[in-house]
């Protein structure tokens, strides 16, 4: 079965209203409970997806995504 490739795409959609700089806590407050399809039959909340991030604040989108992908 093909892997689902759209997780980052859907996360980015959920991030549409996020403006920077922003804290991890503020992101959680705004969209933490949003659900995102991460695999063919699997869904996670934004809260779960960004939980591994070790950083607390983000100056720009590039910093946020680097922190996420490097987590």
Partner 1 sequence: MNRGNVFGINGKIETECLTVVGAQYAPIGAMCMEDVDRNTNVLLSFMDRASGGFPGFDLFVAPEACIQGFPQFGWEKALLTMDSPQIKKFQEKCAELEVYGVFDFLLRVDEQNNYTNTAVVINDKGEIIHRYDKMNPWIPFEGSIPGRSCTVCDGPKGAKLGIIICADGDYPEMWREAAVQGANVIIRPTHYMDPWQNAWEITNKSGAYFNQVYVVAVNCSGTAENENFSCFGRSMILGPDGNVICEGANGAPSMIKADLYPGIIDAMRSQAVHSAPMYSYAHRGASSHPYAGKGLDTSDYTAYKRGENDGTV
Q: State the binding string over 49-68 for partner 1 (x if CB under 8 A, else -).
A: ----xxx--xxxxxxxxxxx
Q: Rounded to 10 degrees, what is the CA torsion of 69, 71, 16, 38?
A: 80
Nearest to 12 by CA among 64, 59, 52: 64
Q: Using CB under 8 A, pick the residue from 6, 23, 43, 70 that binds partner 1.
A: 70
- C-alpha span between 57 and 20 (Å, rounded): 9
Q: State the binding string over 2-41 for partner 1 (x if CB under 8 A, else -).
A: ----------x--xxxxxx---------------------
Where does this chain bind partner 1 (CB under 8 A)?
Answer: 12, 15-20, 53-55, 58-71
């Amino acid at each position: 079965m093909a892997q689902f490739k759209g997780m980052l795409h859907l996360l980015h959609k959920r991030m549409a209203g996020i403006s920077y700089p922003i804290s991890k806590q503020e992101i959680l407050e705004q969209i933490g409970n949003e659900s995102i399809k991460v695999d063919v039959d699997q869904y996670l909340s934004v809260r779960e997806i960004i939980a591994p991030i070790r950083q607390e604040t983000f100056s720009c989108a590039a910093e946020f995504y680097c922190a996420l992908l490097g987590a």
